Amino acid sequence: MPTPTFDGDNTLIILTVDGEWDTEIDLYSEWKQWVKLSDNSKYSPAFWRQSIDQSLLSSAEIRIGTDTEAQFFLNNEEGWRIRPVEGDGETLIIGNIRRANAELPLFVPTVGMYKHLIEVEVTNRGTIEESSSSSGVTKIGFS
C-alpha cells in the first residue's frame, strides 16, 4: 500500500510512487491518520467525505438519483492539491475523488521537469432510481 506525504504548510498531498492509488484507502484514510499525529490537526482539512448509510436505503430520506458510492472531496478551496511523484511516469487514482470547488485544480505539476500522466478512475456502484411498471407499481432500485 503506497503512503503519500502530507505537507500541511503548503497544503499538498505528495504521491511518493507512481502506479495505482485508492482514494479511500491510500489518500483519505492515510490523511485521517496523519491528522492524528503531532499537531497536524491545526491545518485545514484536506478532505470531506460524503456517503450514504446503506441502512437508510429503504427509507424515504434517500432521494431518487442519489449516488450510493462514497464521495471524497479534496478541499481545494483552502489550497489542498495533489502532486505526483518527482519523475516521469503514470499514476492512476481509483475512486470517487472530487474537487470541493470545480473551478480550482485537483492536481499540481511536479517541481522538476518531468512528464507525469495522472488519470482518475471514478467508480459508480449504483444510483437509486425509480421506475413504474404497466401495472402501476413503483419500484425503487439500483442502476
Q: Between vectors from CA 103 to CA 129 and to CA 67, what angle results, nearest 5°?
A: 15
For 120-140, what is the mean pLDDT?
A: 53
Q: What is the pLDDT of residues 85-104, one digit of tens each?
A: 999 999 999 998 999 899 99
Rounded to the nearest 5°, which phi and psi values hold at 107? Answer: -125, 155
For 43-50, what is the mean pLDDT?
A: 88
Q: What is the pLDDT of residues 70-80, one digit of tens each?
A: 789 999 999 99
Q: What is the pLDDT of residues 29-39, one digit of tens each?
A: 999 999 999 99
User: What is the pLDDT of the chain when averaged over all its residues?
Assistant: 81
Q: Which residue has the higher pLDDT, 128 or 115?
A: 115
Which one, of 115, 138, 142, 117, lies nearest residue 128 by Cα?
142
